Structures are given as C-alpha cells and as structure tokens.
Structure 1
Amino acid sequence: MLYNSLVKPLLFQLEAEQAHDLTNQFAQKASKSSLLQSLAKAIYNFQSPRLCQNIWGLKFRNPLGLAAGFDKNGKVPEIMQALGFGFVEIGSITGNPSTGNPKPRMFRLPQDRALINRMGLNNDGAKTVVKRLKNKKLSIPLGVNIAKTHDPKVLGDLAIRDYVHSFQEAKKVADYITVNISCPNTTEGKTFEDPAALEELLSALNIRDDARLVPTLVKVSSDLNHDQLLALLDVCEDHRVHGYVACNTSSQRENLTTSPSEIKRIGRGGLSGSPIAAKSIRIIGWISDATKGQKPIIGVGGIDSFSTALNMMLAGADLLQVYSGLIYEGPGLIKSINRQLLGQLKELNVDSIHQLVTASG
C-alpha cells in the first residue's frame, strides 16, 4: 500500500533510469544494513515449507526470483533475499565491462504496465562482478546471467571466447548460469538464436561433457515462432542443457494501449511487462511440450499478479522471475503471489507446487 500511495508516485516523477538508479542506490545501502534487512524481512518476507522445491540439487524456498536486469552488477542480492525472493539472478554480465547505449535508454509505458529498454548490457564486466559476488553470504540460490559484450567488433570466434570467459568466471560463484542468447538491446540485434551459431557456442561451453558443471540454462526470446523455438531446443537438448528461461524482452510492439506516436518517439528496445505475458506463457507451453515436462523452466515476462504467475506455472514453469512487475506493484508483489500460491495449495488440498500444477491441470 505504501509503495502505491507514496513511493511509486515519487519515483514516477523521475525518468525511468533515474528512478532505477535511485532504487538501486537505496538497495545497496539496505544490503549493507542488518537493520534495514530485518525491517524488510518483517514487512515483506513470506515463506512456507509447502512452497519449497528442490531443482538441480538446489533448494528454492519459494518459486519467485528476481529477474536479470535489476541487479546487473551483483550489488544488492542481500536485500532481495530479505524481501522474500526465493532466488536471485544477477547480470547480464559480459566478458568486458560496458557503459551500454547512450541515454535515454529506459522508458515506462504506464498505460500498459510495461517498459521499453535499450540499456545495451551495461555492466562492470565478468571478472569484477564475480569478485564482488565472492563476498556475498546468501541462503538462496544465486543465478548469473551471461551475454556477449556489447561491442560490434566482438563477433564470430571473438564472441564465442567472450562467452566462454564469462562462463568460466560465473562458475566460481553461481548456483546456476543462464546463457542469454537473445538480448535484443545491442547494436547487432539478436545474437546466438541462429541454430548453427548456438551449436558452436554450446560446444565451446562444453555443457554436455562436463559432469562437474554448474547447472546451465538457455534464455530465449519472446519473439520466436514455434518452428524457430523447436530448432533451438533441438540444439540445446543435444547439448543436455539443464533448463530454460522463457522469455526475454520483445522487439515487437503488440497489444499496446500507448499511442503509436509515443511508441515511435521512444524507438527501439526490448518491451517487457504485462503486454508480453501471453507470449511468455505460450513459449513456456511449447518448451514444456517439446521436453515432455522433463526440463525445469523459469518463467519470466509480464508477471505482475497472482493470476499471471499461476498461468505461467500451469503452462509448465517450475520457477518464476519478476522485474517490471516490481516497478508497477512494488516489493509487496512477491509476498502477495507467494501467499496466494499457498492459499491455492490449501484450497486444492495438495502439499507442493508440483502437485498444484497436476491438480489444476
């Protein structure tokens, strides 16, 4: 309530990236303060043994995670843990540091409860971020999202080596790694969503043959059609990836209430938030069908309510991530969804999220 009545109106007076930076600065202070973490825990943290899941040998205390993009540099996972998240994913991190694209590069679409961003993978670089994460003491799983350095000169073999460098660094601290093959916010547009390029990348990462490997997931675009997705899944399954993150932001501008002139003024970038939820749910369903429900899926893209979260889980998502929804609903969203999930379990008289999906289906 406090967020919607007081904090959000103040933040929405600022440009989107200014508000993000201000929020991040406060989160950094809170991550260093045991008092603020205790306060956040008292207000927002909601847990129940029924919401726990063991996936990839990791214990997720609830299915709600922080999506990559909010904490690009691994500076605030402690306060996210205190706020009640079941896991956090930091990044994307890249082989080399990058300042990203010129500003302005983040825009709100309040009528659509959405964002458009073309941040351009701004981050401190894999080595620096991993060094920072080594000092973090977390009791929830930590995911690290890796992508290609935002530099048009990093192409071909250099691009592969860039990913491998980030991958080797991330392995030092990550409980799982997400390989982001679909970030649309770079100069070159899409990266490794060509099956042949993906084959080359996954071969270099050596996921299939390294038994000691950190669980490795592939994050796909929300703009794929069924055939394109199946072609990528064939490659991924051949390399025995451990799961999927669906989906990344969209380059398309569908289902928007915001005026076309405003959309044109904003220009290119990845659309996130409520308008892409249906696409994410559809792609989650396609992945679940193609893998016969055997591979864990993290559902992301447009979760701003319990009903969207539930629909993603019914489509096949085992875990969920939020980011844009936090901007419109505040940190209470996590508690609200987890509380309603538990209510649903009790209503159906089942003991776990896996049983919830079976019972609801």
Structure 2
Amino acid sequence: MYKTIIRPFFFLFDPEKIHHFTFSAIKILSKIPGFPSLFRNLFQLKDKRLEKKLFGLTFKNPVGLAAGFDKNAVLYNELADFGFGFIEIGTVTPKPQVGNPKKRIFRLKQDGGIINRMGFNNQGLKAAIEQLKNNKGKVIIGGNIGKNTATMPESYTNDYIECFNELHSFVDYFVLNVSCPNVGSHAKLTDKDYLVELITEVQKINNSKEIQKPIVLKIGSDMNEIQLDEIIELVDETKIDGVIATNTSVSREGLKASSEEIEAIGNGGLSGKPIAKQSTATIKYLADKSNKAFPIIGVGGIHSAEDAIEKIEAGADLVQIYTGFIYEGPSLVKKINKEILKRSL
C-alpha cells in the first residue's frame, strides 16, 4: 500500500513540506487510541535472537533510523512503534540555525536517491533537550552532534563539547558528525590531527562523568584508502568506541538522472541507492584492514533486506536506514529483521 498509494501521493509534493506533513500525521495518529498498538503490530518484530549487545548497550534489534530524519527529537517516541532498534536524533548544534536556503532537498526518483543540502538546520540544543525530557524509554537514542555554521574554526571543539555536556544525561550514545558535505570548513573536520584533538577533548569530558556514554565517529563515503587507513589509526590511537560508515556523497557518478537535472539541483550530499556500493565497500575495507578491531554501524543505500545483509556481511554490527525508509516505507525495518532471523546472522 505504501509504494502503490502513499508514496506516489507524497512524491507529488515538495520533499521538505511532505516531511513536515508526515511528522504531523504520525503525531496525530499516535494520539488516537489504538493506532500505536496498530503500528506495533504491523511493523515490530520481537525476538530475543535479534538482540545485539554493543557499546555496553542492548539493542532490541540491529536496525536503526539514521540522523537527519528526527533532527529535533520531536518524533522518536512515536517512531519507536515502527520497529526500530535505535533512533539517532540530530544533527544537533548548540544554537538554533535555519540551515541553507530552500529549496534544499531533491528526489532522484529514477535512481532511488536524494540530494540534500540542509546545512544542519535544527532548533538547537535547548529545544532538543526539552523534547528528550519526554523520553518514554521505548528505544535506544543516539545523539548526533555538530558545530554551528557561524562558529569560527578555533571554536569548533567548544561546540561539540557544549552539545556533549548538555545532552549527556538524555541520550544513550553520541555521534561526532564531522563528515556532512553541507557545512563549512569540511577540510578541517576531516583532518586527522584535528579529529584526535576533538575526540580527546570529548573523551576527557566523558571520563569525568559518573556514567560514560559510547562515542562514535561518522565518516564520509568519498574517502580513499589512505584516508580510511587514517581512520583505522585514529580509532586505535583515541580508543573511540566505533565508526558510522557512511554519510552522504558529493559524487554524481553513474546516475540515471540527466546531467541537466543534476546541474539544476546543484550542490548537496547524495544518499540512497546510488551510494550503496561505495558505503558497503568502505565498511568492508575498515573491517578487513583493521581485522574487525572496532564496531561499525553501516548506513548508505539500504532499500531492501538484502542491502542490509550485504552491510552486515561486509562487517557492520548495526545498520541504519533513512532514504530507504522514505522510498520503501516503514515495513522495511521488519523485512530486514525477518531476513536477519532467517539467515541467523
């Protein structure tokens, strides 16, 4: 029903507007008696064999919702009814920011992809915390944090530390987002020396807390082998808890969309089916080259159960969906979990 009726209707409208409409619809439906249990019956798959212990946490299942969907932590309680094993909110920045000018999300229907240049639009740290105070404990919550666009390079670390400190009591794990192509000073955020500095400072704060939270690093999908070797060295040197591979891509290779359409869209990060192979290759390289020395959360182009299995077999411990959730609908989570059980992974 989703792909034959709902999706064609949604795709008639601007992607960002329909995103907000969907949020409102889920919020309203979830307040009507019977609908939350209906969602759970339709989309959840409960089985102890799906549980995954990682980072000292127990995930009900290994399928999560990637950051960017629930930026401001307004829908995670309702989305938990759709069967996710974990949900990542954010990217959260210290101060609210509007992001880049609209229009800034574009569907590539032929390719099963999306190009976005949102620019970390979010309501800021305080707003996210107010929402997270309403956490009903249904699902593990990750906090994806970043810097404000206007922050000067010498203060980048301060932005991450502020978010980390303030969110610490409200999320189960943290993601240092240093790989989004839609923010300024991208080069510094991927420089190994700077990342060592950033991770070290955040870990100092973490170690001063009564309870420590896992910290993972989100990397891009356009990294070459030399850069990936640096990531492996970075993880070994800093002892960060893991890596999320991968973020969106700036590549436009192999797309079915015309060059005129791509040129008209302009800059932005590409997600969905077009980056699936590169994301999986990155996961496999990290896992094989490091001899699986650290946990990997796989994301990028998961549109089917088979796509998720490929990520897991390449070396991912958990997987996340986003663009696939938009194109394939909420049943995708259950389909992936069924296939994991079938293959006893």
Indicate whether the TM-score tops 0.5: yes
Counterpart secondary structure, 1:218: strand
Cα pair 1:299 1:321 within 8 Å, conserved: yes
- The equivalent residue for 1:180 is 177
Within 2, Cα distance between the matches of 1:3 and 1:147?
33
Percent identity, aligned pairs only, is: 40
2:152 aligned to 147, 155, 168, which one?
Answer: 155
Q: CA offsets per residue over residues 272-304 of structure 1, 9 Å max, x none? A: 000101111111112212332131111000000
- The equivalent residue for 2:104 is 105
Cα pair 1:219 1:245 within 8 Å, conserved: yes
Give the C-alpha shift of residue 31 in structure 1. Answer: 4.9
1:27-66 alignment to 2 at 5 Å? 27-33=26-32, 35-66=34-65
In the superposition, the TM-score normalised over structure 2's length comes to: 0.95
Counterpart secondary structure, 2:335: helix
Within 1, Cα distance between the matches of 2:75 and 2:285?
34
Cα pair 1:66 1:321 within 8 Å, conserved: yes
Cα pair 1:56 1:215 within 8 Å, conserved: yes
Within 2, Cα distance between the matches of 1:241 and 1:171?
16
- The equivalent residue for 1:118 is 117
> CA-atom RMSD, angstroms?
1.6
Give the C-alpha shift of residue 128 in structure 1. Answer: 1.9
- The equivalent residue for 1:311 is 310
Q: Sort the Cα spacing of 1:317 and 1:122 in 2 relative to 1 into closer, same or farther, 3 A.
A: same
Cα pair 1:250 1:270 within 8 Å, conserved: yes
1:67-78 alignment to 2 at 5 Å? 67-78=66-77
- The equivalent residue for 2:329 is 330
Within 2, Cα distance between the matches of 1:341 and 1:285?
19
Cα pair 1:31 1:78 within 8 Å, conserved: no
Give the C-alpha shift of residue 67 in structure 1. Answer: 0.4
Counterpart secondary structure, 1:111: coil
Q: Sort the Cα spacing of 1:7 and 1:195 in 2 relative to 1 into closer, same or farther, 3 A.
A: same
Q: CA offsets per residue over residues 13-68 of structure 1, 9 Å max, x none? A: 00111111111222333455553211111211112111111112211111110000
Q: CA offsets per residue over residues 158-214 of structure 1, 9 Å max, x none? A: 111111101112211111101001111124445511112112211221259817420
- The equivalent residue for 2:280 is 281
Within 1, Cα distance between the matches of 2:156 and 2:231?
19
Give the C-alpha shift of residue 139 in structure 1. Answer: 2.8
